[in-house]
């Protein structure tokens, strides 16, 4: 039995939101209120920026209705950012803020990139002999976080992409006469997990259903093969539906299309434009009409079509994080562990944060058929359970009535921080 650690807990969100990231916040809050050793439950506004600026909200003061509403509300209710702690003064400041508010439990909801912050905060506390338990909570629509079987946020994004591809395909089927190509550009900086998920739009035992062609960063892209693939489909079908990851690369590992030479605050290239690049190729080389649907941030924001399995698991990892911390665990990431049986089951586990940082989970190449543009049964067996069930969202005046936090602030006790 771990020694009881009495103090306050703090929750931070980082990186891009998902349709279910707030369900993890709800899970942390619900479980934290069950433990007397956790005296106050705070949220850090805008992730790392809230840590530096001592900008917290009192989540225990929120109405239970608002907290329950987080289970079906998209976006990041606490606010998020892509800022990282960079210089020693940043870490000194965060430790100072933790001490001022007696933060003994820190829960960091983020992807592999942002979990580096959680790992470093754990190291910082140890070096300063400050009792702090740090637990990472997984989130990302791109499903590229290692250690966990899958990541909260991914299933809901798949459900939206699959449904959208089905609808676009029906539209194209009505219009096409062997001369129409629909190109759907989806997220996926370095992995094809999302693009692969579009294959779920196919009906069972109908391999020729749209999407007809799926292009992944794991398979090097060539103009010639793409054009041959499109021509082959148009000979057989009234239209061709193409799904492409924004991060497609050629045989040398160079991005096929980069929207701008600028980078984001995390130093990543600003991707985009693959759809338009493919459209130009089709129209100039094949002579067919092409149109582009760029799903953009709708992939991660569409809570009206969230997967119940995904939302429930997002809540579960939040609960598990608190239980682990109270039991003495620290510097760990909560993971989802799939059962071995024929019927889908899932429970939580723990992995060292250091095993996650700097690693990237690629789509297994053996899940891609030899044609390089379709997925086999192994992917369908993996992904299909993740999109099951629908989240009940209340409606007001015909539109979803999502929850909003009151964000009652916590009094600051320290002077402002000069970045």
| Arithmetic mean of pLDDT, 148-156 | 98
Q: What is the pLDDT of residues 20-51, one digit of tens each?
A: 999 999 999 999 999 999 999 999 999 999 99
Counting residues of the chain whose pLDDT is more than 90, the rounded percentage is 89
| Arithmetic mean of pLDDT, 351-379 | 94
- The confidence score (pLDDT) of residue 130 equals 98
- The confidence score (pLDDT) of residue 114 equals 87
pLDDT at 389 over 80: yes
State the pairing for strand pair 239-245/180-186.
parallel
- The confidence score (pLDDT) of residue 144 equals 94
CA–CA separation, 271 vs 277, rounded Å? 12
| Arithmetic mean of pLDDT, 163-184 | 97
- The confidence score (pLDDT) of residue 3 equals 86
- The confidence score (pLDDT) of residue 108 equals 97
Q: What is the pLDDT of residues 302-328, one digit of tens each?
A: 999 999 999 999 999 999 999 999 999
- State the pLDDT confidence band at 188, using cuts at 50, 70 and 90: very high
The pTM score is 0.95
pLDDT at 261 over 60: no
- The confidence score (pLDDT) of residue 6 equals 98
Q: What is the pLDDT of residues 90-148, one digit of tens each?
A: 999 999 999 999 999 999 999 988 899 999 999 999 999 999 999 999 999 999 999 99
The CA R_g of the chain, rounded to the nearest whole Å, is: 23
Of residues 199 and 416, more confidence is placed in 199
HEC string of the chain? CCCCCCEEEEEEECCCCCCCHHHHHHHHHHHHCCCCCEEEEEEECCCHHHHHHCCEEEHHHCCHHHHHHHHHCCCCCCCCCCCCCCCHHHHHHHHHHHHHCCEEEEEEEECCCCHHHHHHHHHHHHHCCCCCEEEEEECCCCCCCCCCCCCCCHHHHHHHHHHHHHHHHHHHHHHCCCCEEEEEEECCCCCCHHHHHHHHHCCCCCCCCCCCEEECCCCCCCHHHHHHHHHHHHHHCCEEEEEEECCCECCCCCECCEEEEEECCCCCEEECCHHHHHHHHHHHHHCCEEEEEECCCHHHHCHHHCEHHHHHHHHHHHHHHHHHHHCCCCCEEEEEEECCCCCCCEEEEEEEHHHHCCCCCCCCHHHECCCCCCECHHHHHHHHHHHCCECCCCEECCEECCCCCCCCECCCCCCCCCC
Place of tokens 């605050």: 265
Average pLDDT, the chain: 94
| Arithmetic mean of pLDDT, 265-285 | 82
């Amino acid at each position: 039995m771990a020694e009881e650690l009495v103090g306050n807990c703090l929750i931070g969100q980082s990186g891009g939101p998902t349709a279910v990231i707030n369900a993890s916040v709800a899970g942390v809050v619900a479980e934290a209120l069950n433990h007397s050793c956790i005296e106050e439950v705070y949220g850090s506004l805008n992730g790392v920026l809230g840590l530096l600026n001592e900008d917290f909200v009192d989540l225990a003061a929120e109405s239970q209705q608002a907290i329950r509403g987080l289970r079906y509300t998209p976006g990041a209710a606490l606010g998020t950012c892509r800022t990282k702690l960079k210089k020693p003064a940043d870490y000194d400041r965060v430790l100072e803020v933790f001490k001022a508010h007696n933060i003994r439990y820190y829960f960091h909801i983020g992807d592999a990139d942002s979990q580096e912050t959680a790992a470093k905060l754990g190291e910082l506390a140890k070096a300063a002999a400050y009792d702090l338990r740090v637990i990472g909570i997984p989130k990302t629509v791109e499903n590229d976080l290692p250690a966990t079987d899958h990541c909260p946020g991914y299933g809901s994004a798949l459900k939206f992409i699959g449904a959208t591809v089905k609808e676009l395909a029906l539209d194209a089927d009505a219009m096409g006469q062997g001369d129409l190509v629909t190109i759907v550009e989806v997220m996926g900086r370095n992995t094809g997990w999302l693009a692969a998920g579009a294959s779920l739009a196919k009906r069972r035992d109908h391999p020729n259903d749209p999407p007809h062609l799926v292009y992944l960063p794991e398979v090097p892209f060539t103009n010639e093969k793409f054009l041959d693939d499109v021509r082959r489909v148009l000979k057989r079908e009234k239209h061709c539906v193409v799904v492409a990851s924004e991060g497609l690369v050629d045989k040398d590992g160079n991005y096929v299309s980069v929207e701008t030479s600028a980078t984001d605050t995390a130093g990543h290239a600003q991707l985009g434009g693959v759809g338009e690049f493919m459209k130009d190729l089709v129209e100039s080389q094949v002579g067919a009409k092409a149109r582009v649907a760029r799903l953009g941030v709708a992939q991660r924001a569409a809570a009206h079509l969230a997967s119940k399995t995904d939302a429930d698991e997002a809540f579960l990892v939040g609960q598990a994080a608190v239980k682990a911390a109270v039991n003495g665990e620290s510097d760990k990431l909560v993971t989802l562990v799939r059962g071995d049986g024929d019927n889908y089951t899932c429970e939580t586990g723990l992995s060292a944060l250091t095993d996650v940082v700097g690693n990237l989970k690629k789509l297994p190449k053996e899940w891609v058929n030899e044609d390089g543009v379709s997925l086999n049964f192994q992917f369908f067996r993996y992904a299909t359970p993740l999109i099951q069930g629908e989240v009940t969202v209340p409606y007001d005046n015909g539109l979803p009535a999502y929850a909003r936090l009151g964000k009652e602030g916590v009094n600051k006790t320290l002077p402002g921080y000069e970045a």
